[in-house]
Amino acid sequence: MFSSTFLTQLLSAIPRSSFERSVEAHQADRYVKRCTSWQLLVTLVSGHLTQALSLRSLATFSETLAPHRYHLRAGPIARS
């Protein structure tokens, strides 16, 4: 049985189309090579929910979301 996660419920409160319009209006993704604004939002919201203490823990958590990224419409966060 399908059940919506808390992360999905939080992200569904943000209309994706209006988020994309804001990104376009402010040209927020103009120089983006890897991490789009939506991917950053998903990562930061999930980091807040898990109370991540470092960027490494955010990247690690992003890797654990790999099977679910398609449903969140977010790609991987690359470590530098």
User: pLDDT tens across 11-36, in order?
Assistant: 889 999 999 999 999 999 999 887 78
Q: How far apart are CA 7 and CA 4, in angstroms?
A: 8
Residue 77 pLDDT greater than 80, yes or no:
no
**What pTM was computed for the model?**
0.74
Indicate the range of 1-10, 11-20, 24-33, 51-60 predicted with least confidence. 1-10
- Quick one: pLDDT at residue 1? 42
The CA-based angle 48-52-58, given to 5 degrees, is: 95
- Nearest-CA neighbor of 57 among 79, 31, 29? 79
The distance from CA 74 to its chain's CA centroid, rounded to whole angstroms, is 6
Domain ranges, ordered by start, for the chain: 6-72
